[in-house]
Structure 1
């Protein structure tokens, strides 16, 4: 595999496409609900539309808050991020009827890129259990350095086929599209944070670990 480099414009465009993909569904549902309220006189249907709008608005807000920390600047260069804030946006991002999030971590300030890496690894964990399951996050901290362990357990658990090569910055296809930009970006963040990422699977459990590179 040969490592590839995206120029800044392509990286920005692909990340924007990813964020739009994540929010277009709930935003579209809000629009549909508003159209029902405009045209429908039946009170039960209007109640259904109002519930849809509320649920979709919460989902869109949660996804945008998550994207702000996981993909955005989230403060100036060298800034630290509260892991409590990371937990809050992670719970909002994963809030559904199929997946349970267990979060075991001290509430501390960690360097921005480490927290961004943790959140992006969480995204990969959700794709590892497409039918839902239990995702467990364990964070240990020594000084200002975090070590992450994430497990995703569920039916048909799998390591996404392209994830390892994308994390390594060397996709087998030789290109990166909007579908693959998230794991590719995760690899960029890992290298910026001077951390290594490992993925493994045993039975119905995928394990993702990240730790500082050996000196």
Structure 2
């Protein structure tokens, strides 16, 4: 793990844009490719059962591609002019759309309210980080409490082989051990950028098969590698 005093990595704007575009393309290329395959079957195969299968594949893949693009539009996009707010109901809709056909189930408890866009973007990016905490699938429980300017975001990811994703804490703090970031690490790195823009601290904790991610209003500059508690167990890691 990198040192708390390690310099924060500052990506060139063009590099950040390129890596985020790469991430979005990675997420949509599979369902789009499946749509192309389905269309080829419709063109070349006259067997009725195969044509039915192809139509089902096209429909399912189109829904997946649409859901992933809608999610990316809010999670990575500007989502309106500076200072704009986003309805948490819209965030819930795009988040649940991402898991409609997946092995992971999402539960959501949040007020019906408009929240500052960076706080909503942080929430959605943390949903994706939580997904990587349960690689074999499971349940992600999202709870938003407090008012729009000072909310508490709690995400609990429970599933077999749950773990705090490798290097996620360093990446979110902007201090990757390697000193650089690639397309695989851009999501947590970007989540850290959004957290700092939203003045939120993010903490990770794990107990058994459940990983908890908590984001709260930043009280002071957060550091990586919080000191051990009196019982000798490491305290939760705080990230800003």
TM-score by length of 2: 0.88
Partner residue in 1 for 2:127 = 122
Q: What is the aligned counterpart of 1:99 among 96, 104, 111?
A: 104
Q: Would you say 1:88 and 2:93 are equivalent positions?
A: yes
Partner residue in 2 for 1:171 = 176
Deviation at 1:96, TM superposition (A): 2.5
Q: How does 1:51-200 map to 2 (within 5 A)?
A: 51-200=56-205
Deviation at 1:141, TM superposition (A): 2.2
Deviation at 1:144, TM superposition (A): 2.9
CA distance in 1, matches of 2:84, 2:152: 19
Unaligned runs of 5+ in 2: 221-240
| 1:110/1:145 contact within 8 Å kept | no
Compared with structure 1, are the counterparts of its residues 57 and 144 closer, same or farther at alpha carbon in structure 2 (3 Å cutoff)?
A: same
Could you report, residue by residue, the CA deviation over 1:119-145 in whole angstroms, capped at 9, with x for unpaired residues? 000000011111110100000022533
Q: Greater helix share, 1 or 2?
A: 1
CA distance in 2, matches of 1:135, 1:70: 17
CA distance in 2, matches of 1:21, 1:147: 31
CA distance in 1, matches of 2:45, 2:66: 26
Bigger-Rg structure (1/2) = 2
Q: How much is the aligned-residue C-alpha RMSD, in angstroms?
A: 0.9
Deviation at 1:27, TM superposition (A): 0.3
Q: What is the aligned counterpart of 1:209 among 197, 202, 214?
A: 214
| 2:140/2:156 contact within 8 Å kept | yes
Could you report, residue by residue, the CA deviation over 1:156-203 in whole angstroms, capped at 9, with x for unpaired residues? 111111100000000011110001000000000000000000011110
CA distance in 1, matches of 2:121, 2:94: 12
TM-score by length of 1: 0.98
SS, match of residue 171 in structure 1? coil
Partner residue in 2 for 1:27 = 32
